[in-house]
């Protein structure tokens, strides 16, 4: 059976519909795999309907609503949502401010989040938007490292290759050199501080402009501060303090001077605290973490390999893996390679093995399989974030078994020993050319062990029980379908699957009715929005074409979404290009979620105002989701009266 074509516009519209409508979405943004929505009233979310949207691979309804659609698709859905609502991030605070104040506090009470869980979510929100930059820069860094390695080995010669490696490293440095700035900006957004102030606080740890021969002194030890001391941990804590201070100052400082005084005080106070307190303390903590890692390495053997390989995925999830970079750099400078990187790379191998097991055991879960298909190739290439955030972590148990798989691979490399990488780059297969002393075979053995270990542990112990129950039901249904096909029952008219539901459509107004192919709007005329009809109204009242539920009311009131009692989606579009009129000619009589009977009044339209504005009054009834799942028959054209039966729909 062919996979259903992904329709970003339809997905965007349904995300709004089942999230409580456009007015219930305060803002939204996308990361690599998901749309993240800030919701005013979580009670209006229909989580089950969101999960059933074709193309949606998962839903997380926490303080923030997250809808997973997968890499390569999320940007299309984000653009479609922007087009649907009319603006990026929508920000409906003006319309929903009073209601939001009441329901947000109530929603947070219901969720009962622990402080630790909230902190983990905040940290993830800081780093997830940077995943595309990590992926792109990491791959470029890997290519540059391979070229540099081949130059060192005299396999590649000539100034041209040196220039290529240099250019790639310059591009790569655009991400990793200024990572504290990006982290500061994102952290400020998460904690509702000014993003640019967060970026400046992040830049402070770079110590730009400081003379290395006359450094700023560490107040605790008297030693000179070094750039990036305390790393990302220090930046995150400093920006959190910034958010607390900035909110207080906004309350205390008079509005007339707030724009001048507040930023200056924030940067001065937090900047000084960062230089003289946070950087030294965060550096001490980071040194402690590094010391612990070095202790594990010194223990040696399979034990060290297992511990490091198993713990690296949680570190990636928290963004803490960046603190390992100085260790890699120091080891390479001292010994020529880093034995830590090949072991940590096994974590990605465990993810790959776990994803393969999920694919095999839950192969009837089309959404999950599609997600794995999109994430697995980059996982094999050493980019593990899509598999972590879109596949294993949301399911829970597979994340743990993937960690165990990484530990198994790490144990193999640790047992073999003396496996080091000469450069820092992506893990997975791209790391093979960077393994030193011709011991690439040991790295490959470890990678295979991680694949197999992650697969076996996940296959037998990592499948969520609820998912497994659904899979068994789907498998039984498929088996029954195959039996029906073999016995000739599939086309038996007496079987329930052969029966079609019939829905009658009425004329939504008095006027002249035509097939939708004669619409003035080419999008509707080409049936891009499905079958339906066009009506040139002569009266100002617009009525419901059938019994059902108002699923959405566009902010500009020029269109309504409607779901019939038989589950048919209907789009009622009032006029052509009337979105420009900002809803002025339309007095909508219903609200989202309201049940209506066939013929109930939906809208009072001032068609003369539409005409005076130079727009067409053609009103369109379209069936955007009917497709091949049903049949549409237009029974009457020409002059019609409101509420007169004009068409029928037969659907499965």
8 A C-beta contact, residue 302 and residue 414 = yes
* DSSP assignment string, 235-284: HHHHHHHHHHHHHHHHHHS-HHHHHHHHHHHHHHHHHHHIIIIIHHHHHH
CA 240 to CA 242: how far, in whole Å? Answer: 5
The H or E element containing residue 88 is none
Tokens encoding 646: 């004009």
403 is an active site residue: no
Q: Which of 530, 572, 534, 568 minimizes the C-alpha distance to 553?
A: 572
Residue 625: strand, helix, or coil: coil
Residue 194 CB burial class (10 angstroms; 0-12, 13-18, ≥19): middle
Give dist(CA 335, CA 230) in Å, integer.
25
* Residues in CB range of 645: below 8 A, 6 or more apart: 504, 505, 506, 507, 635, 636
Of 25, 31, 107, 505, catalytic? 31
Would the CA dihedral through 228, 234, 239, 245 be positive or negative? negative
HSE on the CB side for 426, CA within 13 Å? 25
> What single DSSP character describes residue 391?
I
Q: Are the beta carbons of 515 and 646 closer than 8 angstroms?
A: no
Q: What angle do CA 390, 391, 392 make, to 5 degrees?
A: 120
Instruction: Kindly list the distances between the CA atom of residue 311 and the CA atoms of 155, 317, 431, in Å, as whole numbers in the listed order.
Output: 37, 10, 20
**Alpha helices by DSSP H, 42-130:** 47-52, 74-85, 93-111, 115-127
From CA 408, how far away is CA 618, in angstroms rounded?
Answer: 66
How far, in Å, are 550, 563, 619 from residue 532 at the CA level? 18, 14, 11
| CB contact burial 220-258 (16+ within 10 A = b; e otherwise) | eeeeebbebbbbbbbbbbbbbbbbebbeebeeeeeeeee
Alpha-carbon distances, residue 629 vs 116, 532, 562, 635 (angstroms): 47, 15, 18, 20
Strand order in the sheet with 34-39: 25-30, 34-39, 65-68, 58-61
Q: Which residues pair with 190 in a beta bridge?
A: none
C-alpha dist (Å) from residue 266 to 200, 210, 340, 486, 602 = 11, 21, 39, 74, 52
The residues assigned a catalytic role are 31
């Amino acid at each position: 059976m062919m996979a259903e074509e992904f329709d970003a516009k339809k997905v965007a519209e349904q995300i709004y519909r089942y999230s409580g409508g456009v007015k219930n979405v305060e803002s939204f943004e996308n990361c690599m795999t998901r749309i993240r929505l800030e919701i005013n009233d979580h009670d209006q979310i229909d989580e089950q309907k969101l999960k059933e949207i074709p193309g949606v691979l998962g839903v997380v309804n926490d303080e923030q609503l997250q809808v997973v659609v997968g890499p390569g698709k999320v940007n299309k859905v984000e653009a479609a949502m922007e087009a649907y609502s009319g603006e990026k991030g929508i920000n409906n605070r003006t319309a929903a401010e009073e209601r939001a104040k009441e329901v947000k506090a109530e929603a947070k009470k219901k969720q009962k989040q622990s402080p630790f869980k909230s902190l983990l979510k905040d940290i993830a929100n800081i780093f997830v938007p940077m995943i595309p930059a990590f992926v792109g820069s990491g791959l470029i860094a890997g290519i540059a490292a391979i070229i540099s390695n081949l130059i060192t080995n005299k396999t590649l010669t000539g100034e041209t290759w040196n220039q290529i490696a240099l250019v790639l490293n310059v591009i790569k440095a655009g991400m990793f050199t200024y990572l504290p700035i990006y982290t500061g900006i994102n952290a400020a957004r998460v904690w509702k501080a000014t993003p640019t102030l967060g970026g400046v606080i992040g830049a402070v740890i770079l110590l730009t402009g400081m003379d290395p021969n006359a450094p700023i002194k560490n107040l605790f030890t008297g030693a000179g501060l070094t750039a990036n001391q305390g790393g990302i941990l220090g930046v995150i804590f400093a920006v959190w303090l910034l958010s607390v201070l900035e909110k207080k100052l906004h309350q205390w400082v008079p509005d007339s001077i707030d724009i001048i005084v507040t930023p200056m005080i924030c940067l001065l106070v937090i900047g000084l605290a960062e230089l003289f307190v946070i950087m030294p303390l965060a550096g001490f903590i980071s040194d402690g973490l590094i010391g612990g890692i070095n202790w594990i390495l010194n223990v040696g053997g399979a034990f060290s390999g297992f511990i490091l390989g198993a713990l690296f995925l949680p570190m990636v999830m928290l963004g803490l893996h960046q603190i390992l970079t100085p260790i890699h750099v120091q080891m390479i400078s001292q010994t020529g390679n880093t034995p830590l990187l090949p072991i940590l790379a096994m974590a990605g191998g465990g993810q790959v093995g776990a994803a393969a097991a999920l694919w095999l055991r839950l192969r009837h879960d089309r959404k999950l399989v599609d997600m794995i298909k999109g994430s697995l190739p980059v996982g094999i290439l050493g980019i593990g974030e899509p598999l972590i955030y879109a596949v294993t972590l949301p399911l829970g148990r597979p994340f743990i078994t993937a960690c165990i798989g990484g530990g198994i691979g790490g144990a193999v490399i640790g047992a073999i020993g003396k496996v080091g990488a000469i450069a820092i780059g992506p893990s997975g297969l791209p790391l093979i050319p960077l393994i030193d002393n011709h011991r690439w075979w040991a790295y490959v053995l470890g990678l295979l062990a991680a694949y197999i270990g992650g697969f076996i542990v996940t296959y037998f112990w990592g499948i969520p029980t609820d998912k497994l129950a659904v899979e068994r039901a789907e498998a039984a249904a498929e088996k029954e379908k195959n039996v029906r096909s073999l016995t000739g029952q599939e086309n038996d008219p007496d079987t329930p699957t052969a029966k079609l539901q019939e829905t009658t459509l009425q004329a939504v107004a008095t006027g002249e009715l035509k097939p939708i192919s004669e619409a003035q709007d080419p999008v509707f005329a080409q049936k891009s929005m499905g079958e339906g009809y066009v009506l040139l109204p002569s009266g100002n009242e617009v009525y419901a074409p059938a019994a059902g539920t108002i699923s959405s009311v566009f902010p500009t009131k020029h269109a309504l979404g409607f779901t019939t009692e038989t589950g048919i989606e209907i789009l009622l579009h009032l006029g052509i290009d009337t979105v420009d009129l900002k809803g002025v000619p339309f007095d909508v009589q219903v609200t989202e979620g309201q049940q209506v009977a066939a013929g109930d009044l939906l809208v009072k339209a001032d068609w003369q105002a539409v005409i005076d504005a130079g727009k067409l009054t053609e009103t369109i009834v379209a069936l955007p989701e009917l497709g091949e799942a049903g049949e549409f028959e237009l029974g009457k054209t020409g002059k019609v009266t409101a509420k007169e039966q004009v068409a029928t729909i037969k659907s499965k």
